[in-house]
Amino acid sequence: MNTRTAVALGLGLAFAVTACGDSADDELEASDIDGSISMAVTEPEILIPGRQSVAFDFGMAVWSPLIYLELDGELNYIQAESVESDDQTTWTITLREGWTFHDGSPVTAQDYIDSWNAVAYGPNAFENSGQLANIVGFDDLNPAEGEPETDEMEGLNLVDELTFEVELVGPDSQFPVQLTQAQTALFPMPPSAFEDFDAYNEHPIGNGQFAMVDTYVESEPITVRAYEDYAGDPPNIGEITFVAYSDQVTAYTDALAGNIDVSGVPANRRTQAEDDFGADRNYNFEAPGMNHLGLPLWDERYDDIRVRQAISLAIDRETINDVVFGGAWEPATAWTPAVMPGTPEGICGEYCEYDPEAAAELLEEAGGFEGDMEIVFPGGSGQDDYYNAIANNIRQNLGIEAVAAPTVDWAEFAERRENAEIDGPFFSRWGALYPSQQATIREMYLETGGCTNCVPMYLPEIEEALAEADATGDESGEAYAAVHEILQENFPVVPMFFETYSYATSERVEELVTQPGGNPRLSHIVLVDED
């Protein structure tokens, strides 16, 4: 019998293969602080805070912000000792003494100025440079054509080793909130970073609670360990390992098996997460994400405000929330997320409630709706159930032939929306980086905002009301209610949901703590006592 030959051949191959296997189990030195956790993330690729797009959790571990925004809205001064201004335009930032980067060099005002200039400098093409756009001199570093003549922003001035001044293009009461943790482009980089950004990306050095242990190698886990000389409050745990997953569902299953401690809950597991993990290991964190149903205001069928209101009335947000999001989201009743201070919840009033009869009547008053309706959303993003449900509501309650139409991918969707090549309602959301209503309003309702055509109605009144609120407002955010009133009167977009971000944990985690960004606050995680 020839099985022997085959077995031998198989074993031979097996040995050949072993040589190619991974060897990532290097033993790491233990930290002084007990406890370590692992978190499932998307492959970050870019770790530099001025460039990253999916390395938030890593960034918040390795860097400390000037100010930490606490859950109750309090501004907790971390790296900054004070941030002050008399006129809301020129701000003086004073740093705390005795803080160091992980390479031992002190954190100085000059480091902040150099870092912000490098992020803003056009030829560097840093993806998150927009976070600095309101500083005087940003435009000089980003001329419409040609190379910039300078590499320094005029609006940044050194006062002494630990103090610098920032001049903004206009008064902005929310500037301190912009200095908080999720605006990663504002994190400081040490002098060594500027010599070679590629090298810095492989081994970023920050001023935060955790320092990177090894060099970053793509697709291998990233381990960060508590920084011994950290001048602020020490974290609860000594070590965090970020493990990249290409499929979120796999991460979810791995968390279920206890192989990974913290994982996001993918869209198609939302409804079963509580059954799988139990209520105390499944977390839904309020997030500064605002989910709208965008309307193609360039199409004259949507000119009549009653048509727009009718669409809003025809959608059963409660049921969609229960069926699609496992009840984790919150039906929207205003135009900015509820988590943002001062959001006037309920201002949308009757138009954000489900009332199919009123919807049908309103549409009839407006003269009905001609033709079919295609609800366009980015395909491959797991949102099919959500948009199918909206289409069903509109079809049943308004009698319009509505279908949900996914694009091939995100890129196609972004291009079509940007060029106004969509003739039906569409996906429109904005996840703000700092929980001030300003962040959402600025990006969604100003022509210069980042969310192009998310709400294609750019009213001068909104711009004025926003500028007014920015200049005169305070931390309560109540001044922004004026903007909501204008939106309510014009109804340019249908508010759908205040989003939450969902996480699940292994049995090792006693409590996962969040922060206003909706992400977990890993340094404050509480582990189950294992002794």
Q: 342 to 401, contacts with other proteins by CB under 8 A?
A: 380
- Those residues with Cβ within 8 angstroms of residue 451's Cβ, 6 or more apart along the chain or in another chain: 428, 430, 443, 444
Residue ranges in 300-339 that form contacts with other proteins under rule CB under 8 A: none
Coil, helix or strand at residue 231: coil
93 DSSP 8-state letter: E
Residue ranges in 56-95 that form contacts with other proteins under rule CB under 8 A: none
How does strand 494-505 pair with strand 262-264? antiparallel
Shortest separation between residue 526's beta carbon and other proteins, angstroms: 25
Contact 375, 425 (CB under 8 A): yes
Shortest separation between residue 231's beta carbon and other proteins, angstroms: 32
- 319: tokens are 């049921």
Residue ranges in 176-215 that form contacts with other proteins under rule CB under 8 A: 198
Single-letter residue type at 426: F
Among 152, 154, 345, 412, binds other proteins (CB under 8 A): 412
Query: Whose Cβ is closer to other proteins: residue 243's or residue 465's?
Result: 243
Query: Whose Cβ is closer to other proteins: residue 127's or residue 489's?
Result: 127
Among 73, 106, 130, 399, binds other proteins (CB under 8 A): 130
Asked if 27 is part of the footprint of other proteins (rule: CB under 8 A), the reply reads no
135 DSSP 8-state letter: B
- 431: tokens are 């996840």
Shortest separation between residue 230's beta carbon and other proteins, angstroms: 28
Scanning 280-288, 337-345, 450-458, 509-517 for contacts with other proteins by CB under 8 A, the matching segment is: 450-458
Shortest separation between residue 192's beta carbon and other proteins, angstroms: 19
Asked if 409 is part of the footprint of other proteins (rule: CB under 8 A), the reply reads yes
d(CA 304, CA 279): 45
How does strand 67-69 pair with strand 75-77? antiparallel
Residue among 416, 414, 412, 392 at smallest CA distance from 403 = 392
d(CA 76, CA 363): 50
Tokens 């569409």 — which residue? 426
Query: Whose Cβ is closer to other proteins: residue 335's or residue 413's?
Result: 413
Asked if 440 is part of the footprint of other proteins (rule: CB under 8 A), the reply reads no
Among 429, 457, 458, 486, binds other proteins (CB under 8 A): 429
**Per-residue contact track with other proteins, 250 to 279, x per CB under 8 A?**
xx-xx-xx-x--------------------
Query: Whose Cβ is closer to other proteins: residue 24's or residue 279's?
Result: 24
- Those residues with Cβ within 8 angstroms of residue 20's Cβ, 6 or more apart along the chain or in another chain: none
Contact 499, 289 (CB under 8 A): yes
Asked if 54 is part of the footprint of other proteins (rule: CB under 8 A), the reply reads yes
